[in-house]
Amino acid sequence: MTGATLTIGGAFNSHVGIVSVPSSFLGDTSSTSGSLNSLLENYLVSLTSSIQGSSTTGATYAFENNDVAAGPGNDFVTAPASGSVSGSLEEFTNTEFVGDASSVSASGSYTVSSGVTDVVVQAPGNVTLAGNDSTKFALFGAGSNVNYTQSIGGSASIVAAGGNNAINVTAANVNDTVYSAGNDTVSFNGTGGNDSVNADGDATTAVLIGGSDIATVTASGNAQSTVVFMPHSGGNLDFINNSTQAQTVYSGSYTASGGANVFAPNSITVNAGAGGGFYVGGRAGNNSLVGGTGAVTLQGGGTGDVLIGSGASNNMFGGTGLETLIGATGSGNNVFQIGLDYVGIGQVTASGIVSTNGSGVQNFIIGNTNGETITGSTVSGSSNMYAVVGSDTGSLTTGGSTLTITNFGANSVIFLVDSTTQGPSDTSIYSIQAAGGVGGGTDVYLNDGTTILLKGVNCSDVYAATLAGGVVGIGHT
């Protein structure tokens, strides 16, 4: 079952239910044990007990229902008759004081009352709500569209159970957890916080990260999420894709006034799962982008990055510096691009490691390198295609590169190409000769100063030929 109706019970003014809250999260409230809806209902039942009390214990929770559809004068308020008050529930609903729900759409701006610990919004329409520093739990029903801002302290669990919601957290040093089941935009722009977002069901959730908060985002069910780092944001991200859908994480450059490029100096960790997706690492480097069984596009950000493709189809683009790009054992077709243009930066230099154990076609698109090592696949049925891009576009400076290729065998070919990877390069072979040093091999010298070492390959086993279209190919007999 998809979705459920959550009920805050009660017997005030002779009506049984205080308010019913529709939820788009997966699972019902009773038979789906452990579902979020079941957990929410259990919590609401406990609130009901605290509001009403029992035959042996008095009420410990204050309660106010704001009927925002009918307007002022139609609210219902109750408070414990005596003893200490442990909390307070405030509702913004289209339900009047005798329990009847209005069909009128409610819109307006409201502020959560001082001292309130629990907030519920269930009113068709558009509600703008300012939070406080005491709220620990907020629930927005699937029939509501809430623009909620938390600008002062207090960590909370915020449940957006459907609808179109905007949740804005700008407070410092708060640790908020947001559950999203609707078409939601969640913005973290605070400092010193550890925040999390859980997109579930059929949610389409956008997460905007600013400030220096650390965020964890998880997509589950059939949810689709997009995470974007805002300009100058310094927070890091842990992203987990448990959804069947492809996800997007983007951390790149932004054009500031005056035309300068600015970057989000952060690092991200991604587990792409079965859904796959498009993931861009932060410019601080030390990103871990790990593909699952789904198709992925992974873009590195800087030194220390590790990019791993594990599924049938993977595209990996290196950033700058010392990075590691891997086509994992069991992967299929892999594309690796290193040392070429990075959006917002220009051409980068690769000086790390590329290695693959993929079973299909392994494509390497190679620009400017400084000591890069590439290890091709030896899996049965695999092939290694190395496209070495020349500097014929005028914007690339690939000359003078140094590159080592290992596992260069009969399933491997080097192509000297232009920036389209289809036409011939302006770079040609200067010489092919035996390499000295430990392990031996063959050095391929190009006339632009580039040196390619084919590690462990006898010079007599290497040949060069001009192929169709004028592209020069270098192969192994």
In this prediction, residue 417 has a pLDDT band, given cuts at 50, 70 and 90, of: very high
Confidence of residue 24 (pLDDT cuts 50, 70, 90): very high
Q: What is the pLDDT of residue 79?
A: 80
- Inform me whether the pLDDT recorded for 15 exceeds 70: no
Residues whose CB falls within 8 Å of the CB of residue 193, separated by 6 or more in sequence, listed in order: 169, 171, 172, 173, 174, 175, 176, 211, 213, 214
Q: Give the confidence band of 11 by pLDDT, cuts at 50, 70, 90.
A: very low
pLDDT, averaged across the chain: 89
Res 192: pLDDT: 85
What integer is the mean pLDDT of 266-273? 95
Residue 101: its pLDDT value, please? 66
What pLDDT score does 12 carry? 45
Residues ≥6 apart with Cβ < 8 Å to 47: 8, 61, 89, 118
Q: Select from 443, 442, 447, 394 the least CA-distant residue to 416.
A: 447
Please report the DSSP string for 348-406 in residue order.
--B-SEEEE--SSEEEEEE-SBEEEEEE---STT-EEEEEEE-STTSS---TT-EEEEE
Separation between Cα atoms, residue 371 and residue 451, nearest integer Å:
10
pLDDT tens-digit profile of 453-464?
Answer: 999 999 999 999
17-26/2-9 β-pairing: antiparallel
Does the pLDDT at position 138 exceed 70? yes
User: Mean pLDDT, to the nearest integer, of 372-380?
Assistant: 98
Tokens representing residue 433 in the block: 């000769």
Q: Where are the domains positioned within the chain? A: 173-245, 254-477
Q: Which of 390, 334, 392, 389 is CA-nearest to residue 363?
A: 334
Q: Is a pLDDT exceeding 70 seen at residue 134?
A: yes
Q: In the predicted model, what is the mean pLDDT of residues 59-70?
A: 84
Contact 189, 195 (CB under 8 A): no
CB 184 within 8 A of CB 164: yes
Q: With beta carbons less than 8 A apart as the criterion, state whether 54 and 48 touch.
A: no
Expressed in angstroms, the distance from the first to the final Cα of the chain is 61
| Amino acid (one-letter) located at 85 | V
Whether 383 contacts 412, CB under 8 Å: yes
Of 328, 274, 319, nearest in space to 298 by CA = 319
What single-letter amino acid sits at 438?
Answer: V
Condensed to tens digits (0 to 9), the pLDDT of residues 211-241 reads: 888 999 999 999 999 999 887 788 899 999 9
Share of the chain above pLDDT 90, in %: 61
